[in-house]
């Protein structure tokens, strides 16, 4: 994984360099070269409420460990409270700490003046109380926050855009590193260690740079550690910190830069998991990126359905239009964080053609008739919608379960059983409360069963019986019991109208788990409802219910397993959609009136 991240940095990014990092900067304090303060300029989308400033690709950067061990603040760019003491703290211990940080910031400017002469005058200006008060007053008027990133402009040029300070900065960091190593006694010779990644002789990096962009999945806003050895249990043979798995500073800078870039521009967050993906040779356009199509589903802004987009992409590979993509590799990383550490939840790689085939299979497995019937399929669900179909609040879904469902989507493997159980509970709850059954939820039930049967010995025949629309010849008694439930619900509504808590609300939960205990009572109720029809549709209902009973025979199950409960739910849902289809087509002769009376709430 680390080697692939380094390869990404080498081939698809400007070569990252230790001590440098892209940064968003909102404010620039402008001076003349002789140190005269001119003005403060807002960078980026000036005036916008959530303006984060302008992105500068190569800014000087200290890691947190370097700040702690070397005692310096960042060079050229830091928070407004550090650069110019813009803070609400005017005295006391907090202000003293801010002042100390400000002094180290101006001190570095003085040191750098050996290369950029104007920085000596600017450092003096930033030490002048009268100038600082003017700067602070302007920042206050612009409603700048103390934490806003701030930098320096000289004679109309932002120094971060110039390279004149780069050599000084490299030399300064090298001197600091050498001084630290020389003051540390260790029986182990660091210089001749083999890199854990490249195999080359490198100086082990004691502490690695932190990864940004994971604060929404448990990480720290200041950065989260991917590789670290701050606990005794992580160390062996008397080695300290990074000596336990040698990585050079250059490799660490590359993998950190690659992860930062990918998290920012090529990631999607689901609940408390961030999915990062990239491709070996190039980044695909969103319209043909299989993983983007998976997360987007049937987006209204796209003319083609997700399934069609995937098929179009596969066709372009097979016909040679995109022959170079067939063997292209994809890489997919699932991340979260806790306790300041990055957690690698999953790592998957493979051919992009295989990935597209698996995602095409995913949408096909989820394909299900629309709850409104009419011989139309429901939209291909976004991945987020699939997760939302098993919990009421997406925050309630566990990280391992998110990863397992994601892995199923991109590898074609079985769906996790807990996801099926949770989807069935949501479906049961929706029916009992007279709420809408989500397409993604019933689609998950069908997809689970298909994948379950494909990997079960002798299950291919059962898989073939799993249709997108109603299958009246399905061999499972559980499926046929679900169909019966749909007819009983339709019949009751036709006979009595809206009675509030009908047979679905009262009996679905028990019928879907122990049908033998409930079907007899429902059949008795059905006879009562048939008598209420006064021959308007009586024959049709008797015929349909009789046909289903004929398929069940004497095999009404006593109890249903989780998979059989899924078949019951599928049979009920698809039969209701079929009833709606016949209602819309008006193809039932003198029985059409009774079907027209079946309201949306009953079918849902």
| DSSP calls for 101-164 | HHHHHHHHHHHHTTTSTHHHHHHHHHT-HHHHHHHHHHHHHTT--TTSEEEEEETTEEGGG--T
Q: Which of 509, 504, 516 is nearest to 553 (CA)?
A: 516
* Element holding 484 (H helix, E strand): helix 477-496
- For residues 58 and 160, the answer to whether their CB atoms sit within 8 Å is yes
Q: Are 437 and 423 in contact (CB under 8 A)?
A: no
Give the rounded distance of the alpha carbon of 201 from its chain centre.
38
Distance between CA atoms of residues 169 and 166, nearest Å: 5
Domain ranges for the chain, please list them: 11-170, 189-265, 267-451, 472-603
Between CA 209 and CA 224 the distance in angstroms is 9
**Lowest pLDDT segment from 68-72, 223-227, 238-242, 281-285:** 281-285
- Write the pLDDT tens digit of every residue in 159-170: 999 999 999 999
pLDDT for residue 577 is more than 90: yes
pLDDT in the model for residue 283: 64
Residues shown for the chain: 604
Angstrom distance (rounded) from CA 260 to CA 263:
5
Contact 304, 378 (CB under 8 A): no
Summarize pLDDT for 458-496 with one digit per residue, the tens: 788 889 999 999 999 999 999 999 999 999 999 998 888
CA contacts within 13 A on the Cβ side of 225: 15
212-236: average pLDDT: 88
Closest by Cα among 352, 346, 313 to 332: 346
Among the listed residues 138, 117, 157, 149, the one whose alpha carbon sits nearest the alpha carbon of residue 35: 117
Q: What does the pLDDT average to over 548-573?
A: 95
Q: What is the pLDDT of residues 330-348, one digit of tens each?
A: 999 999 999 899 999 999 9
Interval 427-465: pLDDT, tens: 999 999 889 999 999 999 999 999 999 988 778 888 999
Query: Which among 72-81, 176-185, 492-501 has the top mean pLDDT?
Result: 72-81
Taking the C-alpha atoms of residue 496 and residue 431, their distance in angstroms, rounded to an integer, is 19
Phi, psi of 344 (to 5 degrees): -85, 105
**Residues 514-528 as b or e (16 or more Cβ within 10 Å = b):** ebeebbeebeebbee
How far apart CA 180 and CA 268 sit, in angstroms, is 40
Q: Encoding tokens for residue 376?
A: 């139309």
Residue 378, SS3 per DSSP = coil
Strands 149-154, 27-31: pairing kind: parallel
Give buried/exposed letters for 307-331 (b at 16+ CB in 10 A, else e): bbbbbebbebbeeeebeebbebebb
CA distance 116 to 168: 9
Find, among 411, 394, 602, the residue nearest to 504 by Cα: 602
Q: For residue 342, give the nearest of 233, 249, 254, 223 by alpha carbon.
A: 223
pLDDT of residue 182: 55
273 backbone dihedrals φ, ψ, rounded to 5°: -125, 135
Read off the DSSP letter of residue 233: G
Would you tell me how many other CB atoms lie within 10 Å of the CB of residue 155? 11
From residue 302, alpha-carbon distances to 227, 288, 387 in Å are 41, 12, 22
Q: Which of helix, strand or coil describes residue 11?
A: helix
Q: CB–CB of 523/449 below 8 Å?
A: no
Q: Is residue 592 scored above 50 in pLDDT?
A: no
Average pLDDT of the residues in 548-563: 94
Percentage of the residues of the chain whose pLDDT score is greater than 90: 61
Q: Alpha-carbon distance 558 to 537, whole Å?
A: 31
- For residue 69, pLDDT over 90 is answered with no
Band of residue 286 on the pLDDT scale cut at 50, 70, 90: low
Query: At residue 502, does pLDDT exceed 90?
Result: no
Do residues 27 and 40 touch, judged by C-beta distance below 8 A?
Answer: yes
Least confident piece of the model among 140-149, 264-273, 582-591? 582-591
Closest to 412 in 3D by CA, of 364, 458, 378:
364
Nearby residues of 575 by Cβ (< 8 Å), 6 or more positions away: 470, 482, 483, 486, 487
pTM of this structure? 0.82
């Amino acid at each position: 994984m680390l080697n692939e991240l380094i390869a990404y940095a080498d081939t698809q990014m400007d070569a990252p360099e230790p001590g440098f990092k892209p940064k968003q900067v909102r404010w620039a304090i402008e001076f003349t070269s002789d140190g005269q303060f001119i003005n403060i300029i807002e960078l980026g989308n000036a005036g916008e409420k959530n303006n984060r400033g302008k992105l500068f690709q190569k800014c000087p950067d200290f890691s947190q460990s370097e700040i702690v061990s070397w005692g310096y603040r960042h060079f050229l760019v830091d928070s407004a409270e550090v650069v110019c003491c813009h803070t609400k703290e005017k005295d006391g211990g907090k202000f003293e700490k801010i002042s100390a940080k400000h002094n180290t910031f101006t001190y570095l400017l003085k040191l750098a003046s050996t290369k950029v002469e104007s920085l000596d005058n600017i450092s003096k200006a930033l030490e002048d109380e009268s100038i600082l008060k003017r700067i602070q007053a302007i920042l206050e008027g612009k409603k700048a926050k103390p934490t806003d990133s701030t930098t320096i402009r000289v004679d109309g040029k932002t120094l971060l855009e110039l390279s004149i300070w780069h050599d000084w900065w490299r030399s300064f960091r090298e001197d600091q590193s050498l001084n630290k190593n020389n003051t540390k006694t260790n029986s182990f010779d660091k210089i001749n260690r083999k890199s854990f990644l490249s195999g080359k002789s490198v100086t082990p990096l004691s502490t690695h740079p932190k990864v940004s962009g994971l604060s929404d999945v448990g990480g720290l806003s200041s950065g989260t550690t991917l590789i670290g050895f701050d606990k005794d249990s992580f160390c062996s043979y008397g080695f300290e910190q990074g000596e336990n798995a040698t990585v050079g500073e250059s490799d660490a800078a590359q993998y950190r830069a690659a992860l930062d870039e990918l998290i920012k521009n090529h990631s999607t967050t689901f609940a408390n998991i961030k999915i990062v993906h990239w491709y070996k040779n190039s980044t695909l356009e969103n319209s043909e990126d299989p993983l983007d199509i998976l997360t987007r589903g049937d987006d209204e802004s796209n003319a083609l359905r997700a399934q069609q987009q995937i098929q179009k992409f596969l066709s372009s590979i097979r016909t040679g239009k995109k022959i170079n993509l067939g063997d292209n590799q994809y890489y997919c990383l699932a991340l979260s964080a806790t306790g300041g550490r990055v957690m690698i939840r999953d790592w998957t790689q493979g051919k992009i053609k295989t990935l597209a085939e698996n995602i095409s299979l995913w949408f096909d497995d989820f394909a299900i008739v629309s709850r409104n019937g009419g011989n139309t399929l429901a939209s291909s669900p976004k991945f987020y919608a699939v997760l939302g179909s098993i919990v009421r609040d997406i925050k309630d879904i566990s990280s391992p379960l998110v990863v397992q469902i994601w892995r199923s989507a991109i590898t074609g493997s079985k769906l996790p059983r807990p996801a099926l159980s949770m989807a069935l509970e949501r479906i049961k709850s929706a029916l009992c409360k007279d709420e809408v059954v989500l397409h993604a939820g019933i689609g998950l039930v069908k997809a689970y069963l298909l994948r379950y049967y494909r990997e079960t010995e002798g299950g291919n025949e059962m898989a073939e019986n799993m249709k997108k629309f109603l299958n009246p010849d399905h061999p499972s008694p559980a499926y046929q019991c679900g169909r019966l439930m749909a007819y009983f619900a339709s019949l009751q509504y036709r006979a009595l109208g809206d009675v509030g808590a009908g047979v679905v609300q009262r009996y679905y939960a028990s019928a879907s788990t122990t049908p033998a205990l409930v079907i007899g009572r429902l059949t008795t109720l059905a006879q009562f409802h048939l008598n209420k029809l006064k021959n308007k549709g009586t024959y049709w209902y008797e015929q349909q219910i009789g046909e289903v009973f004929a398929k069940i025979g004497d095999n009404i199950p006593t109890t249903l397993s989780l998979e059989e409960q899924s078949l019951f739910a599928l049979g009920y849902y698809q039969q209701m959609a079929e009833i709606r289809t016949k209602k819309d087509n008006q193809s039932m002769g003198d029985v059409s009136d009774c079907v027209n009376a079946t309201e949306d709430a009953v079918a849902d």
